[in-house]
Amino acid sequence: MPTLRTTAQRLGTATALALFLTPLPLLAQDQDADQDASSAEDSASSQASSESVPLVPGTPTWDSFHGQLNAQKYSPLDQINADNVGDLEKAWEVHTGDVSDGSGDLPPTVWSATPVFANDTLYIGTPFYRILALDPATGEQKWSFDTESKLEALTQPALKSRGVAYWEADDPVEGESCQKIVYLGTMDAQLFAVDADTGEKCTSFADNGVLDVNQWNDTHAKWPLSLLQPPTVVGDHLILGWAGKDWEFEQAPPGTVFSINARTGEREWSFEALSEEMREKSGTANVWTHMSADEENGLVYLPISSPSPNYWGGNRTEEAPLATSTTALDVDTGEVVWSRQWVHHDVWDYDINAAPTLMDITVDGEEIPALIQATKQGFLFVVNRLTGEDVWPIEERPVPQGDGSVEGEEYADTQPFPTKPAPLLDQSEKPKIWGLADAVGGGQCSKLWDELTYEGMYTPPTTKGEGALAYPDSAGGVQWGGVAFDPASQTAIVNTSHIVQTIKLYDREAYEKADSGSGNESGFSPQTGSPYGMRLEVARNWLGMPCWEPPFGEVVALDMKTGDVKWRRPIGSSQQYGFFMPESWGSPTIGGPAVTAGNLVFIGASMDAKLRAYSLDSGEELWEDQAEAPAVANPAVYEYEGREYVAFIAGGNSILKDQVGDQVVVYALPEDEDE
């Protein structure tokens, strides 16, 4: 495995140099004093057993958030294919009852859980922090487990869950419980471990089946380390990040990642993305989304977010090379193997928000172990997953330096730009004003555009006028669904949103006068402790129509042998901004695609709450059905007793629209057709 020194030499950038010069405690984090020899032996055994693990599983697998640890979201199943998908019908559906629109005593729900198929069971985690074990053919409940967590929106504007994680022992002990475990985290930082067969708590895990992760929240503990994303399970390791409050504080809990023993709940190692000095002044740079892993090479890949506060960085002007990065760690030790920073001195909240997708690709006749990192900016960075080296050149280019209105700020001179694949949306100039919205608004959009600063990508926030135009928005050109990949054709599939927002900073006195509340990824936030509060708004006219030209969301297919686009098409129809829009205008999207050997792309993600299948070859829409709310999670594809199923969770997210659901809906071919 490469050393830090050889990695720095290989990358040859300022980021790599800063990484190499960073004190060792930042890079190779603390092993717990109470880790005994047997734990070390377990890790060594896990590493040895992982040496023959292929990147793409040899059998159909959908036992984690992205289907597989490689995050390809790929199934080799082809019973459902481009020729017969039009016959797809609802096999079963379940309504969990765990839903709230926020009108009563409970906060609203945001449900983004991917169904997990393992142990001949479909496991679901709900936003009321319950686990359901369902029969994969009928939806009949096998068992349920209630964490009895308080249903309070402690760190988020809603009750959130992205579901469960699954682990099973390589060497199960006959007659012993908890040889297969389902894990669910809660907003108050409790990780529950439940026997996958019975639904009973695993008493040998942590404290009678519950791990209090908040016990390690010892710096700027302004909120609990909310466990909204299920752990990434790599061998006998649970790799655990956490979520917190965006935009609230200058100083915040620093973004520690923990490796937990899957059997016992003991902490094995910890990783910090920020130096000790910066942790005292700042915080976050956490991992709030899923991670991916190359088990054969013993690497886990962290998509790391930005430091706090999000839109002013005068308190953290020194180098922070691991923030807003993809960082590869040795899964047994937590040591950094390589890291690439995708935003220097991030003051745009451009968190790396999706697990990188691992893939083997052929470029100019060379077989490359690669990964593709999608970003909020609509960039797709492609590097060698073992070394971090560019597959196609990634260039450092000069970026805007601000208008001088923000005191104490020091902007990065350059930012990384990929040369291939091309950006998913054009951020080089102000998006064109949508003539229809401008006309309906009586020139409102034109007036707003005149009041917004924009000098291209990475225009810094400002206190002047209506602020700076942000394109894409903070929710992301690409969200946590990430990139799907078909290894046979070497085709990548990614959905993207095209949304314009405005960012304005206010000094403390002006902020107190302007603050009128906030919503989900919008409104006012104080950045308490910093000199500036902020406002983030979608650029719309009085009727709620987007001020920028459609399409508002697309699905894009990329040939990963060349980095070129194979096809792209609008996805869905927008239903929030005043009226129903044609599907040719597309919809913003949350949630990602799944790809199958049947030459199909399955996806929900759109505002119109429809579920769709597209041709992998052409992008033609081949099937659709209506769900009760937007399906803002990746679908799952699995086989049970010879029949292929596609499962969606339709839970909704207020970033898209105020429509929530509690629907698990599963599709298959008619039984006489799938034989």
Q: Are 235 and 300 in contact, with CB atoms under 8 Å apart?
A: no
Active site residue 101: no
Measure CA 501 to chain center: 20
Q: Are 392 and 349 in contact, with CB atoms under 8 Å apart?
A: no
- Could you give the C-alpha distances from 269 to 39, 331, 386, in angstroms and in order? 11, 9, 21
Amino acid residing at 421: P
Q: Which residues share a beta bridge with 553?
A: 497
Give me the phi and psi of 51, to 5 degrees please. Answer: -65, -25
Please report the sign of the dihedral spanned by the C-alpha atoms of residue 269, residue 273, residue 277, residue 280.
Answer: negative
Report the C-alpha gap between 549 and 458 in whole angstroms: 21
Report the C-alpha gap between 5 and 14 in whole angstroms: 13
Does the N-terminal peptide bond of residue 253 adopt cis geometry, omega within 30 degrees of 0? Answer: no
Q: Which of 157, 224, 230 is nearest to 192 (CA)?
A: 230
Write out the DSSP string of 278-301.
Answer: HHHH--B----S--EEETTTTEEE
Q: Which of 349, 351, 486, 662 is catalytic?
A: 349
Q: Are 587 and 571 in contact, with CB atoms under 8 Å apart?
A: yes
Compute, in degrees rounded to 10, the torsion defined by CA atoms 106, 145, 67, 52.
Answer: 140
Q: Are 552 and 499 in contact, with CB atoms under 8 Å apart?
A: yes
Angle in degrees, CA 651, 483, 568, rounded to 5: 95
Q: Are 601 and 481 in contact, with CB atoms under 8 Å apart?
A: no
Residue owning tokens 């996805």: 571
Residue owning tokens 């597959």: 391
Report the C-alpha gap between 468 and 400 in whole angstroms: 12
Report the C-alpha gap between 221 and 237 in whole angstroms: 26
Three-state DSSP class for residue 216: helix
Report the C-alpha gap between 640 and 96 in whole angstroms: 22
Q: Which of 485, 564, 554 is nearest to 66 (CA)?
A: 485
Measure CA 624 to chain center: 25
Instruction: Tally the residues of the chain.
Output: 675
The burial of 630, by beta-carbon neighbours within 10 Å (0-12 exposed, 13-18 middle, 19 or more buried), is given as buried
Catalytic residue numbers, as ranges: 349
